[in-house]
Amino acid sequence: DAKTTQPNSMESNEEEPVHLPCNHSTISGTDYIHWYRQLPSQGPEYVIHGLTSNVNNRMASLAIAEDRKSSTLILHRATLRDAAVYYCILRVDTGGFKTIFGAGTRLFVKA
């Protein structure tokens, strides 16, 4: 299964941008890059996804490298409510599109 690598933790100041990196060097051509986050005591929630092009939505932006071997989730202005574990995952086409989570990055936001 294709694997992702993320830093264990990152820290940010409130109101500043945050860039969360992810490496997925074994990604294949049909794999979608998804980001989820998990707030304390909740289930994971979808943030954003992409295939080849950069993507923006109301929550975040996703920058995908040209070779697709890495991506960066960008939170434009971190708030205290953005403190969570962020998971970069590949939606793998194994005939069933199963979703496998790695260890994630724990984001700390300082006031």
Partner 1 sequence: DAGVIQSPRHEVTEMGQEVTLRCKPISGHDYLFWYRQTMMRGLELLIYFNNNVPIDDSGMPEDRFSAKMPNASFSTLKIQPSEPRDSAVYFCASSRDRGHTEAFFGQGTRLTVV
Contact set with partner 1 (CB under 8 A): 30-32, 34, 36, 42-46, 49, 51, 87, 91-104
Closest approach of partner 1 to the CB of residue 6, in Å: 12
Which of 73, 89, 86 shows the shortest CA–CA distance to 2?
A: 89
Closest approach of partner 1 to the CB of residue 42, in Å: 7
Task: Give backbone dihedrals phi and psi of 80, rounded to 5 degrees, phi first.
Answer: -60, -30
Identify the three-state secondary structure at position 110: strand
Closest approach of partner 1 to the CB of residue 40, in Å: 12
Nearer to partner 1, 40 or 111 (CB): 40
Nearer to partner 1, 69 or 110 (CB): 69
Nearer to partner 1, 72 or 99 (CB): 99
Closest approach of partner 1 to the CB of residue 24, in Å: 14
Give the 3-state secondary structure of 40-88. CCCCCEEEEEECCCCEECCCCEEEECCCCCEEEEEECCCCHHHCEEEEE
Nearer to partner 1, 80 or 94 (CB): 94
**Contact at 8 Å (CB) between 35 and 73?**
yes
